[in-house]
A and B are shown apart, each in its own frame.
Chain A
Amino acid sequence: MSTEFDAIVVGSGITGGWAAKELTEKGLKVLMVERGRMIEHGSGYVTETLAPWEMPFRGEGDAALYARDFAVQSKNRHFTEFTQNHFVNDRDNPYSVAEGTEFNWWRGYQLGGRSLTWGRQSYRMSDYDFGANKKDGHGSDWPIRYADLAPWYDHVERFIGVSGQAEGVASLPDGVYQPPMALNVLERYAKGIIEQRWPDRRLTIGRTANLTQEKEGRSACQYRSICARGCSYGAYFSTQSSTLPAAQKTGNLTLVTDTVVERVDYDARTRRATGVSVLNVKTGERRRHTARIVFLNAGAFNTNHVLLRSRSDAFPAGLGNSSGLLGTHIMDHATTVGAVALFDRFQDRTTYGNRPTGIVIPRFRNLDRQEGDFLRGYSFQGGALRSTWTRAKREAGVGMDFKAAMRGPGGWRMVLVSFAESLPRPTNRLTLDPVKTDALGAPLLKIDFTHGENERKALADAGREASAMLTAAGGKVVLSLDRPGVGGSAIHEMGGAMMGDDPRASVTNRWNQLHDVPNVFVSDGAAMASSACQNPSLTYMALTARACDAAVRLLREAKI
């Protein structure tokens, strides 16, 4: 059958960009469909170089506007007047949540998606993670192990550029790194104390997709730490800085923006997807595109939404949902502030520049022996810094002395934020809302998610350990929390189309194909069978590159 394209990639974010790059470089004619607007690299980053005094609300933004149009997005720490154009308008993009639950679904509908605003932390999962579901029985056993993905982690890291330090820690496998950004003077001191007191723990610089060396036309980091505005230096990995130019260079890419995929089209006779039905949100025009394979990279929850909406006689509960498990076992990370401590040391020392990454203390709990009353583990991210003028809001004083006291750098503090693994549970799930619809009449995505007792116990342990470590390093702990934030708060929402070998117990197979429809690949966060406790984007990228390789092989062998 002749098709318009060889492949259609739905979404242009972190994994969509990767799918487009890999498939076009392997010679496929690819259509990449982005629902949001065009943002050109460089010229599209309209607030990048503005100073606070050049912004109407000094960077804080218009709270009245946010209450009306960005009620959810504005709760995000990275959402500011400088970055608001990289987040969705909540009023125009509603979703529903189950009664009695909350979920912060933080999104960016634009070319590049959340690759523009992501935290850039790039960690490998280990066999502790890939073996976790099998070991304790939660969720579906991963059909792959670390050895299957390791070469693809290499492949991805080499291309995107990750700066970091190899440490030989089993729970956080080392990768291919550019030189690390340095720990600051207090972090280096704390590292010494913590590692001496707890030999099984390691404090290392965050492994971040910010370049410390120039790479293929992309500059090294300028230490502004304003990445989420967009970086015209191309110093962090985004679709615009990295995968899109690579895909475009092949001449094999067709890109459309302002075009939302309403469904994946399915031919019951051939048992294959035939392409996608799309709506141009600017013109209102609807049309179909055909291809031999479809890659769903819409972002974990939107990929679920597209599949759930792709109902047919053959798949009345959503495409690829013969198991009835589509939308189930969704996860995030349970996160909160483990501890904040003030330090008297190093008052005569400070730093220069704004490092766009913090530190990480990899998981040390429940690795080779069970400790404590919870399954799996947690890790910490954070760092040490001297505060600046914002402390003036919190400190007493007015007048000349106050002004003088606020002029210099503030005291040192160190923060450890806890990230606990989210167990995959069938009751945490996505469905189509039976009643509520969007402006076009399509059913809203309904999110039913709560953190469980295991996550609460893990965070309680994390709070105690964070406090103990900062206290040992000479800090005075002023805050330690152990309750998880609202679901979605880690912005690591994932799952719903979990991988597994058993078609009755999972939605996608070891090559990220839908068990039911082998020419549809799900390689964003939707395919995750467990969450681990580290930032997941690098794993999504590696899974995507691996799935693209498999897809092209299967096409050549005429198996799909």
Chain B
Amino acid sequence: MDQGKRDARGTGRRQFLMTMAAAGAALTPTTLWAQVKAGADASAVKALAPSQRALLDRVADLTIPDSDTPGALAVGVPAFVTLALAHGLEGAGAPVPAARFTGGAAPDGATVLDWLTFELDLKTGGAFLSAAPAAQMRALTALDSAAYASGGPPGGDASPWRLLKGLIVTGYYTSEAGASQELQYDLVPGHWDPDVPVGPHARAWSNDWTAVDFG
């Protein structure tokens, strides 16, 4: 696996995409990729580009916002997702095939964040990061609904959003606040009760390892 090389190619596309998005160009898959194919950045950069960091921050925040407990951005989920992407957790290292992109075209080695940038910009009809919060939420909700629609997209593979959302929720509910404030955490329950009532404000146990395995 040549992680560095793939990231280098991705960086070029990312910059291009964000430039296009910022310029408010007419974003259709065809016009985007026609121009993407014109060239790629060969510089090897392993860290995420600032624009992709910003995108991850915003999407994490939209997915699990602050409420009476901290949300995904506040507990540092983007750092976990970045680590997870770099180390290929849950298959995150694999490139996203062109068929997963709306319009069916993408260069070899597109990353999940390339895909997310492209799709959200497309759904927003411009630069997702510059859009109003309500428009961002609409775009993300549309992306999420499509990813979890029964049957899924043709071609078999699940939407890359499922992978990213999986990493976001994993990062959140395994953080200290997510596990022990939003949910409940008790490493040593001490006894077993096979039948207890669910109260109106019940919180799930984040240390229910059995349910993590089979849940």
> Of the candidates B187, B195, B215, which one forms a contact with A388 in the assembled complex, judged by CB atoms under 8 Å apart?
B215
CB <8 Å contact, B203 and A408: yes
Q: Which chain B residue has the least Cβ–Cβ distance from A56?
A: B83
A48-64 to B contact mask, C-beta < 8 Å, 1/0? 01011100011110111
Q: Which of chain A's residues 343-372 have a Cβ closer than 8 Å to chain B? A: 347-355
- Contacts A51-B179, A226-B209, A398-B62; A183 near B194 (Cβ below 8 A): yes
For A53, list chain B residues within 8 Å (CB).
174-176, 179
Query: Bound complex: CA of A1 vs CA of B162, how far in Å?
Result: 69
A403 on interface, CB distance cutoff 8 Å: yes
CB <8 Å contact, A352 and B192: yes
- Contacts A57-B89, A413-B214; A389 near B169 (Cβ below 8 A): yes
- Contacts A52-B179, A393-B169, A409-B204; A350 near B192 (Cβ below 8 A): no
CB <8 Å contact, B189 and A407: no
For A407, list chain B residues within 8 Å (CB).
182-183, 203-204
Query: Bound complex: CA of A406 vs CA of B202, how far in Å?
Result: 11
A391 on interface, CB distance cutoff 8 Å: yes
> Of the candidates A60, A222, A385, which one forms a contact with B211 in the assembled complex, judged by CB atoms under 8 Å apart?
A385
Closest CB in chain A relative to B192 CB, distance in Å = 4
A224-235 to B contact mask, C-beta < 8 Å, 1/0? 111000000000
Query: Bound complex: CA of A462 vs CA of B147, how far in Å?
Result: 33
Closest CB in chain A relative to B150 CB, distance in Å = 10
Q: Which of chain A's residues 50-99 have a Cβ closer than 8 Å to chain B? A: 51-53, 57-60, 62-65, 67, 77
Closest CB in chain A relative to B174 CB, distance in Å = 4
CB <8 Å contact, A410 and B64: no
- Contacts A58-B170, A400-B65; A223 near B191 (Cβ below 8 A): yes
Q: Which of chain B's residues 19-71 have a Cβ closer than 8 Å to chain A? A: 62-65, 67, 71
B103 on interface, CB distance cutoff 8 Å: no
Closest CB in chain B relative to A338 CB, distance in Å = 13
B15 on interface, CB distance cutoff 8 Å: no
For A352, list chain B residues within 8 Å (CB).
189, 191-193, 196
Q: Which chain A residue has the least Cβ–Cβ distance from B202?
A: A408
CB <8 Å contact, B195 and A403: no
Q: Which of chain B's residues 164-181 have a Cβ closer than 8 Å to chain A? A: 165-166, 169-171, 173-176, 178-179
> Of the candidates B86, B87, B189, which one forms a contact with A354 in the assembled complex, judged by CB atoms under 8 Å apart?
B189
B84-120 to A contact mask, C-beta < 8 Å, 1/0? 1011111111000000000000000000000000000
> Of the candidates A58, A77, A185, A415, which one forms a contact with B171 in the assembled complex, judged by CB atoms under 8 Å apart?
A58
B154 on interface, CB distance cutoff 8 Å: no
- Contacts A63-B88, A403-B71; A392 near B145 (Cβ below 8 A): no
Closest CB in chain A relative to B3 CB, distance in Å = 8
For B80, list chain A residues within 8 Å (CB).
58
B110-150 to A contact mask, C-beta < 8 Å, 1/0? 00000000000000000000000000010011001101110
CB <8 Å contact, B191 and A353: yes
Q: How many residues of B contact A (CB 8 A)?
A: 67
Query: Bound complex: CA of A408 vs CA of B211, how far in Å?
Result: 13
CB <8 Å contact, A355 and B141: no
CB <8 Å contact, B214 and A403: no
Closest CB in chain A relative to B82 CB, distance in Å = 12
> Of the candidates A58, A396, A404, which one forms a contact with B144 in the assembled complex, judged by CB atoms under 8 Å apart?
A396
Query: Bound complex: CA of A409 vs CA of B206, how far in Å?
Result: 10
A387 on interface, CB distance cutoff 8 Å: yes
Query: Bound complex: CA of A396 vs CA of B166, how far in Å?
Result: 11
Q: Which of chain A's residues 372-426 have a Cβ closer than 8 Å to chain B? A: 383, 385-400, 402-404, 406-410, 413, 415
Q: Which chain A residue has the least Cβ–Cβ distance from B144?
A: A398
A162 on interface, CB distance cutoff 8 Å: no
Which of B90, B178, B191, B210 has the most chain A CB within a 10 Å cutoff? B210
A158 on interface, CB distance cutoff 8 Å: no
For B148, list chain A residues within 8 Å (CB).
394-396
Q: Which chain A residue has the least Cβ–Cβ distance from B165?
A: A393
- Contacts A349-B195, A351-B196, A408-B198; A402 near B203 (Cβ below 8 A): no
Q: Which chain A residue has the least Cβ–Cβ distance from B83?
A: A57
23 cross-chain CB contacts under 8 A: A53-B175, A53-B176, A53-B179, A63-B88, A63-B93, A64-B87, A65-B87, A67-B88, A185-B195, A349-B195, A350-B198, A352-B191, A352-B196, A354-B208, A354-B210, A385-B215, A389-B204, A393-B162, A393-B166, A403-B67, A404-B67, A407-B183, A410-B211
A binding-site residues for B, Cβ under 8 Å: 49, 51-53, 57-60, 62-65, 67, 77, 181-185, 187-188, 221-226, 347-355, 383, 385-400, 402-404, 406-410, 413, 415
Closest 6 CB pairs of A and B: A387-B215, A396-B148, A353-B189, A52-B174, A352-B193, A58-B174
Other CB < 8 Å A-B pairs besides A188-B194, A393-B162, 17 of them? A51-B187, A58-B174, A60-B84, A63-B91, A182-B192, A182-B194, A221-B192, A224-B188, A349-B198, A352-B196, A383-B214, A388-B205, A389-B206, A399-B62, A407-B182, A408-B203, A409-B205
